[in-house]
Amino acid sequence: LTPPPDGFTAVSRFGTTAVCNVIFQDIGPLFQKLFTQKWLDGDKERVVDSIVATIKDYAEEVQEYLHETYYRKMLVEVMERVVVSYGAQLLRQTSAHNVDASGGIRADAASLEALFTICGLPNRMLALRLKPVLLLASLSGVPLTVDAPEKEGKAGTPDLEKFAAEVCQWLEGALAAFPDLCTDVIYRVLKQRSDIDGRARNAVLVRCNEVHAELLAKVREKSSKGTWAFFTEVYKELGAQPGPHVPTGDGVLTSLATMVTKGGQMRIRGTGHRRQPSAEAGVGLGAGVSEAEKGVKRDRGANAVDIMYRLQM
């Protein structure tokens, strides 16, 4: 198609953004219903279905009035804003729950993909913009492996070392795709999981911060100028500053020390069951730390920190 004249170009650009603003006046409030208990319970009338239906109606109405080039630009802008708002709402959650949300997130991503495919966006445009949603689903669903209990009737031992290694592997891949990713994202997602308490979460974040620092310079050198700053936009919507989440307080030292006083194995005691109440309620990964363990000597604690940074047996 022949590009339209410059004057028409300026008007079309303004028009696409104006249409996006109108659409978001309608769908904006729906994002607040994401990741609620009703959403987690798998309510049949999913929130994203309403978002999809509204966008589809608007797209059909404006398609005949916009040049194809700017119609696609409008779709891209709408999709990017939807994905950013979706990611922001996920990271905005603070309550721990006992549901693996990764399946619901992937289902929502599939609905968005189907919508924008029908509207006319090619796969190459869809893949990049859906990638952060799928990455967040993967992080939310990183499994916590539980070893078989030593005695019948006793709870198994959660393998924190394996869990931390898989989270760090996720971080490496996600950071390569989105260099503006910060470890606060990991903190916010893990905080929603009731099978991982504060001590265990802090221990994992210590390692993630080290991996992030090691990889960031290399990743930024390889990234292109046109890379989508997805997480920067998410944090703008959150009204927060993106950055590393640095664990502080006695909980970090306690969890690390506990890990190396159990026969030299990098594990923390707990119930070991997926999505059980956290240690704030008296159980969960990291629960059951004795007063003697809390009083570990500083030189022993320093060794624990050094070992935790490597996360290896």
**What does the pLDDT look like over 69-94, one tens digit per residue?**
889 999 999 999 999 999 999 999 98
Chain segment 224-261, per-residue pLDDT in tens: 666 889 999 999 999 999 888 888 754 454 444 444 33
Q: What is the pLDDT of residue 258?
A: 47
Q: What is the pLDDT of residue 45?
A: 65
In the predicted model, residues of the chain with pLDDT beneath 70 are 1-13, 44-45, 149-151, 153-155, 224-226, 249-313
Q: What is the pLDDT of residue 153?
A: 64
Measured between its terminal Cα atoms, the distance across the chain in Å is 62
Tokens of 199: 């001590």
Cβ atoms of residues 183 and 245 within 8 Å: yes
* Signed CA dihedral, 137, 140, 142, 148: sign only: negative
Q: What is the pLDDT of residue 295?
A: 40
Q: What is the pLDDT of residue 267?
A: 43
Q: What is the pLDDT of residue 11?
A: 63
Contacts of 124 (CB under 8 A, 6+ apart): none
Q: What is the pLDDT of residue 233?
A: 97
Q: What is the pLDDT of residue 234?
A: 97
Predicted TM-score (pTM) of this structure: 0.77
Q: What is the pLDDT of residue 246?
A: 82
H helix or E strand, kind and range, residue 147 = strand 146-147
